[in-house]
């Protein structure tokens, strides 16, 4: 794992000290904790080091402004927002403002460290429980255009939204299966093992998926797919019915040697 420079930003001193203690014996031991991004030295990262910023939401603060300040100071940093996933607007604002991931503030220490490990290896994940809670309030909240979520039936249908069924139909069976893997929070390695393909092939398919459904990252792709709840059926119906194909895997696609 490359050298990681971890910064914890949270308005609560108790929370900052708690996170510092939790991460003390991990690769993510914080080099700096602060109440705001303004208190973090912009020169904290050395050449060749990855910067990881864990940021909590300040009471009464504007998360968009906070994210902007973080990105201005550390433009290439991985940013994880810690908060209550039950606050749908908070999760959406974090993801659309450039956060790499959103972590439930009540997850276990082991889960947090595992999520951070995957993130710094280039495979950011978001908990399925966070996604499910995010979608609970979808009927009363404004549409999430950036993640490809269609507006309510009584809303005007813009051209981009009407094109979404076509976007889904453009996904191959293999791509739909991989998209289901993203929904489950699986890493590229897990998806590759399940589908009997290489990690490099998974990465190629993920890039194609993002381009086809017009989202920016795998987290937004997972939200896009979960909202439709039809990816698994699509994968089953679009895959070729090859003679001698293996049994369907857990993402709805049959596998065969050499595929």
Give residue limits of the domains in the chain. 4-133, 158-238
pLDDT for res 6: 92
- Contact between residue 256 and residue 245 where contact means Cβ atoms under 8 Å apart: yes
Is CATH 3.40.50.2300 what the domain over 4-133 is classified as, yes or no? yes
The stretch 200-206 carries a mean pLDDT of 88
Only one residue has tokens 């450039």, namely: 98
DSSP-assigned letter for residue 142: P
Of all residues in the chain, the percent with pLDDT exceeding 90 is 13
Q: 158-238: which CATH topology?
A: Arc Repressor Mutant, subunit A (1.10.10)
The listed range with the strongest mean pLDDT (31-35, 43-47, 184-188, 232-236) is 31-35
The stretch 95-104 carries a mean pLDDT of 86
Q: Quote the tokens at residue 210.
A: 């993002």
- The SS3 call for residue 182 is helix
Q: Quote the tokens at residue 258.
A: 């050499």
Give the distance, in angstroms, between the CA of residue 112 and the centroid of all CA atoms in the same chain. Answer: 14
Least confident of 29-43, 45-59, 69-83, 179-193: 45-59
Q: Where are the beta strands (DSSP E) in 109-232?
A: none
Q: Any idea of the CA torsion for 37, 39, 40, 41, to the nearest 10 degrees?
A: 130
pLDDT-derived band at 29, boundaries 50, 70, 90: very high
Q: Any idea of the CA torsion for 99, 129, 252, 257, to the nearest 10 degrees?
A: 60
Give the distance, in angstroms, between the CA of residue 61 and the centroid of all CA atoms in the same chain. Answer: 23
The stretch 7-16 carries a mean pLDDT of 91
- The residue among 126, 101, 138, 136 whose CA lies nearest residue 182 is 126
- Contact between residue 214 and residue 145 where contact means Cβ atoms under 8 Å apart: no
Mean of the per-residue pLDDT values for the chain?
A: 74
pLDDT for res 219: 78
The stretch 71-82 carries a mean pLDDT of 88
pLDDT-derived band at 54, boundaries 50, 70, 90: very high
pLDDT for res 134: 66
pLDDT surpassing 60 at residue 248: no
Separation of alpha carbons 2 and 17, rounded Å = 25
pLDDT for res 30: 92
Least confident of 27-31, 156-160, 203-207: 156-160
């Amino acid at each position: 794992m490359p050298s990681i420079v971890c910064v914890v930003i949270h308005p609560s001193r108790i929370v900052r000290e708690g996170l510092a203690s939790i991460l003390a014996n991990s690769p993510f031991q914080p080099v700096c904790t602060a109440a705001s991004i303004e208190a973090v030295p912009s020169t904290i990262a050395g050449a060749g080091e990855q910067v990881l910023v864990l940021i909590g939401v300040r009471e009464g603060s504007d998360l968009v402004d906070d994210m902007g300040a973080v990105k201005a100071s550390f433009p290439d940093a991985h940013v994880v927002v810690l908060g209550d996933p039950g606050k749908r607007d908070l999760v959406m604002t974090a993801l659309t403002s450039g956060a790499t991931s959103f972590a439930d503030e009540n997850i276990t220490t082991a889960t947090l460290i595992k999520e951070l490990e995957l993130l710094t290896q280039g495979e950011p994940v978001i908990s399925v429980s966070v996604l499910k809670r995010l979608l609970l309030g979808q009927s009363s909240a404004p549409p999430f255009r950036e993640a490809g979520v269609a507006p309510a039936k009584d809303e005007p249908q813009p051209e981009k939204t009407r094109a979404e069924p076509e976007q889904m139909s453009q996904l191959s069976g293999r791509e739909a299966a991989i998209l289901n893997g993203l929904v489950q929070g699986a890493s590229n390695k897990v998806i590759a093992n399940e589908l009997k393909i290489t990690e490099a092939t998974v990465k190629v398919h993920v890039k194609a998926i993002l381009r086809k459904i017009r989202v920016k990252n795998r987290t937004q792709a997972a939200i896009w797919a979960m909202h439709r709840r039809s990816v698994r059926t699509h994968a089953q119906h679009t895959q070729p019915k090859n003679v001698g194909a293996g049994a369907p895997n857990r993402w709805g696609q049959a596998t065969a040697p050499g595929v």
